[in-house]
């Protein structure tokens, strides 16, 4: 299945959307819910606020687009506010995972050590560090993709700038 595969309801990639949903479920359940000690961290508030504003804008954009009546202000917000919201959300996510690390290491949360009947081991602490490292190549790619999309989408409407 191509990463460009679409269902047709909204113009989003099924793979990218699935990745986003799974990463959010992971952060909420496997980090924030599972490590009670991080639930009061400011970093949780940071990513929740960023996600919330982003989704309000995204689904307003999709709704008005489906109704064929997209106000310029919503289009502008969709392709501009990510400049601040995306780094804000990513910072909150990374800081939350980082805050969870000592508790995961101490408790052995979700880790499986050898020997066991499956002859398999898993170190959740190391896994979280790998997740954090994965942000290094992924974040810039997605961020600059959105910058490119912003230029492409808003350059066509700048000359017709009007609030409907």
DSSP 20-65: HHHHHHIIIIIIIIT-GGGTT-HHHHHHHHHHHHHHHHHHHHHHHH
Active site residues: 86, 93
Q: Is residue 9 part of a domain?
A: no
**Looking at residue 124, what is its pLDDT?**
98
Q: Is residue 31 part of a domain?
A: no
**Looking at residue 39, what is its pLDDT?**
98
The range of the structural domain enclosing residue 46 comes to 38-158
Q: Is residue 123 part of a domain?
A: yes
Q: Is residue 16 part of a domain?
A: no
Q: Is residue 105 part of a domain?
A: yes
Phi-psi label, residue 35: left if phi above 0, alpha if psi -120 to 50, beta otherwise: beta
Strand-pair partners of 112: 122
Q: Is residue 69 part of a domain?
A: yes
39-77 tens-digit pLDDT? 999 999 999 999 999 999 999 999 999 999 999 999 999
Q: How many domains does one find in the chain?
A: 1
Residue numbers of the chain with a pLDDT score lower than 50? 1-3, 163-164
Angle at 18 between CA 92 and CA 157, to 5 degrees: 80
């Amino acid at each position: 299945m191509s990463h460009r595969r679409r269902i047709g309801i909204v113009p989003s990639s099924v793979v990218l959307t699935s990745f986003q949903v799974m990463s959010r479920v992971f952060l909420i359940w496997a980090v924030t819910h599972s490590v009670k000690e991080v639930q009061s961290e400011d970093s949780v508030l940071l990513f929740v606020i960023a996600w919330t504003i982003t989704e309000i804008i995204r689904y307003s954009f999709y709704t008005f687009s489906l109704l064929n009546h997209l106000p310029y202000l919503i289009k502008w917000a969709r392709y501009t506010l990510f400049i601040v919201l995306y780094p804000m959300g990513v910072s909150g996510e990374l800081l939350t995972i980082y805050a969870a690390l000592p508790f995961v290491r101490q408790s052995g949360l979700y880790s499986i050590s050898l020997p066991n009947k499956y002859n398999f081991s898993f170190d959740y602490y190391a896994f979280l560090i790998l997740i954090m490292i994965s942000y290094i190549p992924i974040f810039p790619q997605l961020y600059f993709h959105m910058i490119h999309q912003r230029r492409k989408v808003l350059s066509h409407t700048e000359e017709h700038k009007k609030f409907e």
